[in-house]
Amino acid sequence: MNVGSRMHWLMVAAPLLAAGIGMAAGGRTAGAAGATVSDADQAALRERCATRISIALVGKSASDDLLASSNPQSGVDALLASPDFFERFARFVNSQFNRDPGKAPAEDASYYLAKYVLENGKPWTDLFLGPYNVDADDKGNVQVTDDPNGLGYFRSQPWLFRYAGNELAGIKISTAYRIMNNMVGLQLMATTNAPDADVSVTGRHAGTCAGCHFQNWYALDQVAGILSKKTKDDKGNVTFTPYTGGSQKILGGKMIADDQGLVQALAGSENFSFNACRLSFSYLYGRAENKCEGPVLDRCIDAFKSQKTIQSALSVIAKDPGFCQ
Amino acid sequence: MRTTNRPIMNSRIVGALGASVLALFVSFAAVAGCSSGAGDPCLDDATCADGTGNPPTTTTAICANFGAAYVGLGGADLTATRAEAVAGVDRGRSKPYSALVTEYARVLGADDNPTLLASSGATFGEPDARWYQEPQASAVSLYTAYRVAFDGCLQLTGVIANASGSAQGDAKYGVAPDAQSAKTECQAWARKFWSRAPIDDEVRACIDVAVVSSRQETINGTTTDTAPARRWAYACASVLSATGFLAY
């Protein structure tokens, strides 16, 4: 039956009515004050809780068992151990760590390694510091393999090429930004793309550009300065030349000599734990935490620092009574 | 570094609440009728205390505890960008397509699964491979949601065959709805589809579809009296395409 082939006047009117009903429904359920007479229906409350938990964590309807549970939040850990969660959260991470999906699967290294870290119960720091390589095999299938020289996905070739950038002297500003964005949630906006703009190091030193490129703790040129340099030959082949200039003072005063030192410093910062919990909160709420939700984030950060896994962070937030209100 | 983050008393907080909270206030006011009419229950509501619908001018703390403060690299305050709002606001997220494919069957019954849904992934924000997308409601998605709901409700009321291969609506849908029967059914649908009891305004809107708006329908330019089961399906679809079902 094809409803769309027969236009009814009610098909126009009814959605408007539904929208009106929806406004009322949204108003009731979204309000923080929450409790009303109808909410005394505890079975209904538990159903809504089960639905919210299941869809937020795995993107699917709650199971019959969860819908009937007297405490749906007791099912959080089981959902966090499910393949549906691994898939959905890896996709979420990939969408937060990149502007767009990769043109080739291997460019979505954060998706593959996040899924690997989740499936194997690894610490979240392994995503950035673990000895892995993410690349396509001979048949084009993307694999996560052990690599003693690995640094999360940051030294994997497809990712390196994707974010090598186009700086004139081969300074990998784009790589530096992407590492800080992925690890601590740094958000910057490139403001100059005019045809005649001076994008050389001289131009980046000038005016407001210097703030992001040379002056703040995340000074992009300085952070990129301890990374390898991009070199392009006459045929367009790109290679990377390791940095050998010794330690530089970056990240607001830390002495760092290479990409591994950079990633270790970021992983050891307060920013890292805070960002892991904000990422978790955004996954579960569809937005960042607000001021009055600060205590939930505090508990999340405590759990994450103690247990190291991103599942521990998500568990605290999803099990908080406020999540089902 | 983590330190204590103290709540502030304010007169600015009410005005600084997020847009979603303001939208919530508007939608709530629209339903509750935030006017100064006699007997208006809104007069007992703090948000309508001056009878004008304007926000209150009293100063209150939005919450007692903002949690800890965090100082990050370069001495940056990591909590600086937090919105000033009470806990638990802004929760109505649109259900993703991956959930909708089972949610309709959950509330309508396994056999009453709208066939239109299978080709509506893009409308409901189904993401590309390896990607995630927060679904956003739009005019198109709302209209499609109604069409999907109507499809499922036609199966539920037995107007068309469902997955069992035959039309299997309950006999009660063969009788045209009246105010009483519609009220009973609308309440049951709302409880089933939304996992909560509806408020009176919501029930009235559904009854209106069943009893008034659906009496006649125009198909291909010809207006006729609507068959009873189709009237029930229209009312059912109006409940099934509301945010009580489409959001979580």
pLDDT tens string, chain A, 325 residues long: the values are 344 444 444 443 444 444 444 433 333 343 444 555 455 589 999 999 999 999 999 999 999 999 999 999 999 999 999 999 999 999 999 999 999 999 999 999 999 999 999 999 999 999 999 999 999 999 999 999 999 999 999 999 999 999 999 999 999 999 999 999 999 999 998 876 677 888 899 999 988 899 999 999 999 999 999 999 999 999 989 999 999 999 999 999 999 999 999 999 999 999 999 999 999 999 999 999 999 999 999 999 999 999 999 999 999 999 999 999 9
Quick one: tokens of A134?
């993410």
Chain B contact present for A172, CB below 8 A: no
Same domain membership, residue A151 and residue A64: yes
Q: What is the distance in angstroms between the Cα of A243 and the nearest Cα belonging to chain B?
A: 24
Distance CA A275, CA A305 (A): 12
Give the dihedral of Cα atoms B84, B89, B95, B98; nearest 10 deg. Answer: 60
User: Which residue range(s) make up the domain with A317?
Assistant: 270-324
Same domain membership, residue A112 and residue A225: no
Q: Chain-centre distance of CA B236, in angstroms?
A: 14
Whether the pTM exceeds 0.95: the reply is no
Beta bridge partner(s), residue A253 = none
C-alpha distance from residue B143 to each of A55, A99, A291, B241 (Å): 23, 30, 36, 9
Same domain membership, residue A193 and residue A67: no
Q: Assess contact for A148 and A196: CB atoms under 8 A.
A: no
Quick one: tokens of A215?
């002056």
Distance CA B18, CA B1 (A): 28
Q: Which of residues 68-107 of A touch B (CB under 8 A)?
A: 88, 90-92, 94-95, 101-102, 105
Give domain status of residue A47, yes or no: yes
CB contact under 8 A, B213 and A10: yes
Give domain status of residue A54, yes or no: yes
CB-facing half-sphere around the CA of A311: CA atoms within 13 A: 20
Same domain membership, residue A9 and residue A142: yes
B121 φ, ψ to 5°? Answer: -55, -45
Q: Give the Cβ contact number of residue A140 at 10 Å.
A: 9
Report the number of distinct structural domains present in chain A.
Answer: 3
Quick one: tokens of A219?
């000074």
List chain B residues with CB under 8 Å of A60: 98-99, 102
Give domain status of residue A263, yes or no: no
List chain B residues with CB under 8 Å of A287: 90
**Residue in A291, A300, A305, A320 to test binding to B, most B beta-carbons within 10 Å:** A291
CB contact under 8 A, B199 and A20: no
Same domain membership, residue A134 and residue A1: yes
Q: Which residues contact A128 (CB under 8 A, 6 or more apart)?
A: A151, A152, A153, A154, A179, A182, A183, A263, A266, A267
Same domain membership, residue A315 and residue A169: no
Same domain membership, residue A100 and residue A241: no
Give domain status of residue A264, yes or no: no
Same domain membership, residue A169 and residue A127: no
Quick one: tokens of A231?
């070199």
List chain B residues with CB under 8 Å of A188: none
Give domain status of residue A58, yes or no: yes
Give domain status of residue A24, yes or no: no
Using the 3D structure, point to which of A162, A188, A221 is the last residue of a domain.
A162
Distance CA A323, CA A297 (A): 12
Distance CA B102, CA B93 (A): 17
Q: Convert A5-16 to b/e letters by CB count within 10 Å (16 or more is b).
A: eeebebbeebbe
Give domain status of residue A261, yes or no: no
Same domain membership, residue A187 and residue A121: no
Using the 3D structure, point to which of A233, A256, A279 is the last residue of a domain.
A256
Q: Which residues contact B27 (CB under 8 A, 6 or more apart)?
A: A23, A24, A26, A27
Distance CA A110, CA A159 (A): 9
Chain B contact present for A63, CB below 8 A: no
Closest CB to B130 among A15, A101, A290 = A101
Same domain membership, residue A216 and residue A158: no
Give domain status of residue A23, yes or no: no
